[in-house]
């Protein structure tokens, strides 16, 4: 389908503030950018680069006063994500070199400490896709989705204990459990059609049978209609805005519809 998505950010800074944004999706992996727009008010100089995960990063200095950004995109995306219960575990010796780093523990994904939990969850499931789906289903069933129970410092280890969190925490836990079983896993942030309440979203992908598969522990069914904006080891790599200084977010609006929005 054609998914029309975007976001509007209105900020206020008292001093010029160096900032890195990741707000521009790119084509690849099941999505093709048909159009996009990136408007700043006031317009400032931006340098754009690609980080080591292939994400577009916009680097700018937010001026003092109010500053807003509006990005809009129309992406050809898939309606249903691929589901393949026969996708096999890739043996460690066959994992491509550039995928290996997604096996390592990271800031919010202490996979080195969650091996026992993972083994309990996947007990009885055949290796591969079925294990990851078991993890996803377990999280959906056992972790309570609730705003305000976690924050930017919350890690998978915390979530395993508190059993509550939001999409970001669900993803971190899923990623950690996969990695502890030597299944490469990564974080994705982006848009999901018809998400309620509408917001930016996070999910994870696992590398099985030679490719990445999408898993979303916040959803009942394997829905597509997603736009990926950024990939990384965990939330540390995919912050949509990193400010080196104090910036107040005055307003934030996110949308992902089947028709264009003004």
Q: Which stretch binds a second copy (CB under 8 A): 36-44, 124-132, 191-199, 212-220?
A: 36-44
Give yes or no for residue 26 binding a second copy (CB under 8 A).
Answer: yes
- Distance of closest approach, residue 244 Cβ to a second copy, in angstroms: 4
Q: Which stretch binds a second copy (CB under 8 A): 81-89, 93-101, 196-204, 212-220?
A: 93-101
Span of 101-109, 128-136, 210-218, 247-255 interacting with a second copy by CB under 8 A:
101-109
CB within 8 Å of 65: residues ≥ 6 apart: 12, 13
The DSSP element (H or E) to which 162 belongs, if any, is helix 156-162
* Residue among 42, 85, 93, 161 that touches a second copy (CB under 8 A): 93
Contact 76, 27 (CB under 8 A): no
Residues 6+ apart with CB under 8 A from 218: 140, 145, 167, 170, 201, 203
Q: Please report whether residue 146 would count as binding a second copy according to CB under 8 A.
A: no
Find the binder of a second copy among 42, 47, 141, 148 (CB under 8 A): 47
**Distance in Å, CB of 86 to a second copy, minimum:** 23
Cβ closest to a second copy, residue 92 vs residue 137: 92
Handedness of CA 28, 29, 34, 40 (dihedral sign): negative
CA distance 16 to 45: 13
> How many other β-carbons are positioned within 10 Å of the β-carbon of residue 35?
11
Query: Residues 145, 160: contact at Cβ < 8 Å?
Result: no
Q: Considering only the stretches 54-62, 118-126, 137-145, 247-255, report the one whose residues sit in contact with a second copy under the rule CB under 8 A.
A: 54-62
Alpha-carbon torsion angle 124, 128, 129, 130, nearest 10: -10
CA distances from 211 to 62, 77, 139, 169, 184 (A): 39, 18, 23, 24, 10
Query: CB of residue 241 vs a second copy: minimum separation in angstroms?
Result: 13
Nearest distance from C-beta of residue 97 to a second copy, angstroms: 5
Q: Which two tokens stand for residue 196?
A: 């309620």
Per CB under 8 A, does 241 bind a second copy? no
Give the residue, chosen from 12, 59, 222, 241, that forms a contact with a second copy under the rule CB under 8 A: 59
Binding part of the chain for a second copy, among 107-115, 136-144, 164-172, 211-219 by CB under 8 A, reads 107-115
Contacting residues toward a second copy, per CB under 8 A: 18, 20, 26-28, 32-39, 43, 45-52, 54, 57-59, 61, 76, 91-93, 97-98, 100-101, 104-107, 109-110, 112-113, 152-153, 182, 236-237, 244
């Amino acid at each position: 389908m054609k998914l029309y998505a975007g976001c509007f950010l209105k900020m206020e800074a008292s001093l010029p503030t160096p900032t890195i944004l990741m707000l521009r999706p790119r084509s690849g992996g099941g999505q093709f950018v048909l159009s996009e727009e990136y408007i700043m008010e006031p317009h400032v100089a931006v340098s754009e680069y690609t980080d080591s995960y292939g994400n577009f990063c916009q680097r700018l200095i937010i001026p003092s006063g109010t500053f807003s950004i509006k990005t809009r995109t129309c992406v050809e995306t898939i309606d249903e994500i691929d589901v393949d219960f026969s996708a096999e575990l890739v043996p460690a010796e066959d994992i491509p070199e550039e995928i290996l780093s997604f096996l390592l523990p990271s800031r919010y994904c202490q996979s080195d400490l969650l091996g026992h939990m993972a083994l309990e969850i996947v007990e009885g499931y055949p290796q591969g896709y079925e294990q990851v789906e078991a993890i996803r289903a377990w999280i959906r069933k056992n972790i309570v989705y609730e705003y305000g129970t976690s924050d930017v410092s919350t890690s998978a280890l915390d979530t395993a204990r508190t059993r509550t969190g939001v999409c970001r925490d669900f993803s971190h836990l899923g990623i950690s459990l996969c990695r502890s079983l030597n299944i490469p896993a990564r974080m994705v942030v982006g848009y999901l059609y018809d998400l309620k309440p509408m917001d930016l979203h996070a999910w994870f992908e696992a590398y099985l049978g030679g490719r990445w598969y999408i898993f979303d522990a916040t959803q009942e069914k394997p829905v597509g209609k997603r736009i990926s904006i950024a990939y990384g080891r965990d939330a540390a790599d995919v912050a949509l805005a990193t400010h080196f200084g104090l910036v107040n977010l005055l307003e934030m609006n996110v949308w992902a519809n089947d028709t264009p929005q003004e």
